[in-house]
Amino acid sequence: MQRRTTFLIATLSVLAVLLAACGTNGGSTGTTGKTLVVDDAYTWDFSKDTDPSRGGVDFDADPFFHAIYDSLLTFKLGDSSTPIPLVAQSYTVSPDAKTFTFIIRKDVKFADGTPLTAHDVEFTFNRLLNLHDNPVYLLDGITSMKATDDYTFVLTSSVPNPAIPFIVTNPALGIINSKLLMAHGGSDAANAATADSAHDFLGTTSVGSGPYTMASVSTSEVVLKANTNYWGPDKPNFGTVIFRNVAAATQLIEIQKASNQIELSLSGDQAASLKSNSALTVTSFTSPNITFAFCNIKTTPACANQHFVNAIRYGIDYQALVSVAGAGSAQAPGVVPTQFLGALTQAQAIQRDVTKAKSELQASGITNPTIQLDYTISSTGLNDSLAAKIKANLADVGITVNLNGQPSSIATPNYRGGKYHLGLAGWAPDYPDPNDYLAFLPGQLVGLRAGWPTGAAPDIEALGARAGSTPDNATRGPLFQQLQTLLNQESPMLPLIQPGQSVVGTKNLTNVIYSPVWYLDLASIGT
Amino acid sequence: MAFVLTHLVPGDPAVANLGDRASADPVAVRIYREHFGLDKPLPVQYFVYLGNLLHGDLGESEQSQRPVSTDLAEYIPATAELAITSIVLACLLGITLGVIAALNRNRLSDQIIRVVSLGGMSTPQFWLALVALYIFFYKLSWVPGSGRLDAIVLPPPHLTGLFTIDSLAAGQFDVFANSIQHLILPACVLAAFNMGLFTRFTRSAVLEVLENDYVRTARAKGLPELTVVFRHILRAASPPILTVVGLAFGNVMTGTVLVENIFSWPGIGQYSYRSATALDLPAIVGVMLFVAIVYILVNMVVDILYGIIDPRVQLA
């Protein structure tokens, strides 16, 4: 009897496997019609950050939030130089660039059909401020956020801030359905950091007015469904978008047999290997991210010696770093990426000059210097390659570099805590405006990490304040160029490269166009 | 021990987990520390943790901001499904090949099996995973790509978290077929090492009992060879094989990170890796406790099976 039972179980098991093997790829249960698959090797935790006011400035999450939550202003596809209306039909800026008045459209509805008003905008902005989570810095300097009537929203800044129209395009400031969220524990009160209990609700339900809604979230993928109540003129092309977490090496294999699929994490070399595949569209371009080095004055006294910093500055072979970084990479002529207002041109970029570097080292009076280069060991190996190249470059000048690559869990607190010596780090744009790069000035976020306190460079600080508050872009652009020219002469900051970036999609897809703010506009992608 | 060692890792979880800008915002950092109890002295944190642990509370993950127990319950079934399948495959192949090799000692088949087992043990799993995906998915189209199901297939209603079982329970046979198709390749990759290991252990264990008098007696009695092999040889050779199978099972339950990464398999390996890189202390401690529990349970099951297989152990 026992033997018969065993035989029966074994036979059934074999039959089950055969049945499975004979099945077609993709079952019918629970399947949908037109589906777009987007693969990314992301680190963002979907189970936490389905709340735009908490997770909305994460690079991996931005396409998701942008698809679900409409913001006041947006950008035309492929052009992030000028904010255009979205939820706000128009906006005005006071002459002193301190007061911004947004007129809200009257036909905008949330996915549940509730009309969107200026009070929802006020709730969204207040909640983001009072939650004090990652995106809170977007509202730095904002003193008042007020719905003056149902369709007018006024933002007031303590200092002139012409970047506000760019900032409000950020997916973290996507407008939330305030009534729905408050009914499920949402709060915009001053104590929202502890009083808001909408986390679990937002983990299952999206509360935006965008072209998509969140259908499901798991640890490995997020599924978006087209918003059937979408108010906008252009309905999304795909009924379903699946955002999957897939390793780059796997993306490289899978895209070659896919349809309606996009891969976001392929390196320049991986993407280049697919260029001969006629079924794919490979786009490689220079990203607006900056990889930079800095000489930390606080941990390394030699960095206070400008001649020593210049010896490093002119000793680095920037073109060699560009070639190490691969397809699409370019030298960063300044801290502001070449795509943004106020960027320096490639002709203005620092060039390697070993003779000048050696004379600067001699002028510094420091003999046989040794410095530690701290950096995060990156999964792509790029940082390690850049660090090795810098070490070799500076050896030519007479500076000994000891490499200190660390895993991100250790390196990140060290970098942010200002413990790096000669540091290698990166900066991705929070919004496509040069004001985002004032963080590199003395006393500011990155400046402090380089041990560069307020008052360390009054000329640079004064110019930065002026550039950051000038309303007119025609004047502001040249001011930022002057500022970066000064930074390239007198600061411990050493802009290195803008790494290449690649997007690979199947040939049938259209409008797969990169945005520095939300990466991809999922609703615009068609066939 | 797990708690103390984890908290000795250099680095500040608040600074590591908050964003670039928020980590420089004292209010954001204070709120973060208070929320996760990091503002209290380490001994206080320890006793709070112990007290919660007694109630089955493993704390809240700093990354997912959910109870660690909820996270583990979500990730463990995916790994368990993969691990169980791979161990079953490794046992079937490894033990069979080991017996064949031992019965054909020093013949050609033995040599071939030894080479194959050595290959299985010495091939890096991440490399094997990529090559297998390239050949069987891309070139031959025998299996689907990464993930537990095709992108357009919805998971079955949650019962155990094991998609194969849940889909059968829900009567979704097409989902079952799809989950088996997705399971087979990563399970085979994961099984490769253990198959080699089991082959070598089985061969060695069988060779030890092959020359015993009771085996010769069984053969002299005219028993069929299969009966001799299964009843007299394999049973006697089982204890050391069982030991290594138990250890291997514990190993695949807790060490599948590379295979999970290549096959986008949302299991405990990916969770532990992400927790470690984000300095998510409660999650790291939770995973360590899980690993400890797995090994304790596996050893316990192996001890019980010893008694079932070998009556002498039961008597002792």
Integer Cα distance of A361 and A365 in angstroms? 7
Tens of pLDDT, residue by residue over A341-364, are: 999 999 999 999 999 999 999 999
Q: Which of B146, B230, B257, B272 to mutate to test the interface with A (most CBs of A within 10 A)?
A: B146
Q: Any chain B CB within 8 A of the CB of A47? A: yes
Parallel/antiparallel/unpaired status of strands A330-331 and A493-498: antiparallel
CATH number assigned to the domain with residue range B73-309, chosen from the 4 options 3.20.20.70, 1.10.3720.10, 3.40.140.10, 1.10.1040.10: 1.10.3720.10
A347 touches chain B (CB under 8 A): no
User: What would the pLDDT profile of A112-122 be if each residue is shown by its tens digit?
Assistant: 999 999 999 99
Q: Check whether residue A173 and residue A225 sit in a common domain.
A: yes
pLDDT at position B15: 81
Residue A14 has pLDDT above 60, yes or no: no
pLDDT one-digit tens code per residue, A44-87: 566 567 899 988 777 778 889 999 999 999 999 989 999 999 99
Selected residues 373-392 of chain A with any CB under 8 Å from a CB in chain B = none
CB pair distance less than 8 Å for B22 and A256? no
Strands A261-263 and A35-40: parallel
Closest alpha carbon within chain B to A245: B264
Terminal Cα-to-Cα distance of chain B (whole angstroms): 34
User: What is residue B179's three-state secondary structure?
Assistant: helix
Q: Is residue A277 part of a domain?
A: no
Contact B25 A26 (CB under 8 A): no
Q: Which segments of A94-172 are extended strands (E)?
A: 99-104, 142-149, 152-157
Residue A281 within a domain: no
Burial class for A420, CB neighbours closer than 10 Å (0-12, 13-18, 19+):
buried
- Rounded to a whole number of angstroms, the distance from the CA of A351 to the nearest CA of chain B is 30
Could you tell me if A253 lies within 8 Å of chain B, comparing CB atoms? Answer: yes
Nearest to B153 among A30, A194, A256 (CB): A30
Do B309 and B239 contact (CB within 8 A), yes or no?
yes
DSSP notation for A18-72? HHHHHSPSS-STT--SSEEEEEE-----TTT--SHHHHTT-TTTHHHHHHHS--S
Residues of B in contact with A378 (CB under 8 A): none
User: Nearest CA to CA, how far is A152 from chain B (Å)?
Assistant: 30
| Gap between the Cα atoms of A396 and B149, Å rounded | 54
A98-110 CB burial, b ≥16 within 10 A, e <16:
bebbbbbbeebeb
- Chain A interface includes B249 (CB < 8 A): no
**Whether A37 contacts chain B with CB within 8 A:** yes
Same domain, A132 and A33: yes
Instruction: Summarize the confidence of residues A222-233 as an average pLDDT.
Output: 92
User: What pLDDT sits at residue A342?
Assistant: 96
Length of chain B: 316
Which pLDDT score, from 0 to 100, does residue A170 have?
94
Q: Grade residue B192 by pLDDT with cuts at 50, 70 and 90.
A: very high
Q: Is the pLDDT of residue B193 over 70?
A: yes
Which residues from chain A sit within 8 angstroms of residue B136, using beta carbons?
none
Q: What is the pLDDT of residues B264-301, one digit of tens each?
A: 999 999 888 888 888 888 999 999 999 999 999 999 99
Residue A152 and residue A69 share a domain: yes
CA distance B122 to B126: 12
Query: Computed from CA positions of residues B193, B195, B201, B204, in that sequence, does the dihedral angle turn out positive or negative?
Result: negative
* Best of B38, B181, B258, B265 to mutate (most A CBs within 10 Å, chain A): B181
Which residues of chain A lie closer than 8 angstroms to B271, CB-CB? 219
CA-CA distance, B16 to B282, in Å (whole number)?
Answer: 14
Per CB-CB distance under 8 Å, the chain A contacts of B226 are none
- B62 Cβ contact list (under 8 Å, min separation 6): B13, B17, B36, B278, B279, B280, B281, B282, B283
Same domain, A417 and A345: yes
Per-domain boundaries in chain B: 2-54, 73-309
| Cβ neighbours of A47 in B, within 8 Å | 64-66, 71
**CATH number for the domain including A434?**
3.10.105.10
Neighbours of A360 (CB within 10 A): 22
Identify whether residues A235 and A380 lie together within a single domain.
no
Task: State whether B278 and A22 contact (CB < 8 Å).
Answer: no
A43 contact residues in B (CB cutoff 8 A): 274, 277-278
**pLDDT (tens digit per residue) in A476-503:** 999 999 999 999 999 999 999 999 989 9
B31, pLDDT greater than 50: yes
| Contact indicator for A72, A102 with CB cutoff of 8 Å | yes
Is residue A5 one of the residues assigned to a domain? no
* Amino acid type, A393: N
| Chain B CB within 8 Å of residue A246 CB | yes
| pLDDT for A33 | 60
Residue A461 lies in a domain: yes
**Mean pLDDT for all residues in chain B:** 89
The confidence score (pLDDT) of residue A47 equals 59
Q: Which residues pair with A147 in a beta bridge?
A: A153
Percentage, residues of chain B above pLDDT 70 = 98
Token readout for B120 is: 């299985």
Which residues in chain A are contacts of B184 at CB distance < 8 A? Answer: 21
Find, in chain A, the residue whose alpha carbon is nearest to that of B134.
A253
* CB within 8 Å: A219 and B75: yes
Residue A446 and residue A472 share a domain: yes
CATH number of the CATH domain containing A103: 3.40.190.10
| Bridge partners (DSSP) listed for residue A515 | A519
CA distance A60 to chain B (A): 13
Q: What is the pLDDT of residues A88-113, one digit of tens each?
A: 999 999 999 999 999 999 999 999 99
Rounded to 5 degrees, what are φ and ψ at A463? -65, -40
At residue B232, the pLDDT reads 87
Tokens read off for B269: 């390996």
Residue A227 inside a domain? The answer is yes
Confidence of residue B307 (pLDDT cuts 50, 70, 90): confident
In total, how many domains does chain A have? Answer: 2
Kindly write down the DSSP assignment for every residue of B107-132, as one continuous string: SHHHHHHHHHHHHHHHS-HHHHHHHH
Helix or strand run (H / E) with residue A500: strand A500-506
Question: Which of residues 70 through 99 in chain B touch A, CB cutoff 8 A?
Answer: 71, 74-75
DSSP B242-291: HHHHHHHHHHHHH--HHHHHHTT--SHHHHHHHHHHTT-HHHHHHHHHHH
Residue among B146, B147, B154, B185 at smallest CA distance from B170: B154
Shared-domain flag, residues A453 and A513: no
Q: Within this chain, do residues A326 and A201 fall inside the same structural domain, yes or no?
A: no
Q: Give the nearest chain A residue to B278 (CA atoms).
A: A409
- Whether residues A331 and A384 fall in one domain: yes
Mutate one of A32, A137, A409 to test the B interface: name it (highest B CB count within 10 A).
A409
Say what the pLDDT of residue A378 is: 79
In a domain, A4, yes or no: no
| Predicted confidence band of residue A21 (pLDDT cuts 50, 70, 90) | very low
Residue A378 and residue A330 share a domain: yes
Rounded-to-integer distance, Cα A414 and Cα A49, Å = 25
Q: What is the CA radius of gyration of chain B?
A: 24
Q: Classify residue A253: in a domain, yes or no.
A: no
| pLDDT band, very low/low/confident/very high, at B117 (cuts 50, 70, 90) | very high
| pLDDT in the model for residue A463 | 97
pLDDT tier at A292, thresholds 50, 70, 90? very high
Domain containing A315 equals 290-498
A-chain residues near B279 (CB < 8 A): 409, 413
Q: Sign of the C-alpha dihedral, residues B49, B54, B60, B64?
A: positive
Q: Do A29 and B174 touch (CB under 8 A)?
A: yes
A204 plus A322 within the same structural domain: no
pTM exceeds 0.95: no
Indicate if A325 and A406 belong to the same structural domain: yes
Q: Does A453 touch chain B (CB under 8 A)?
A: no
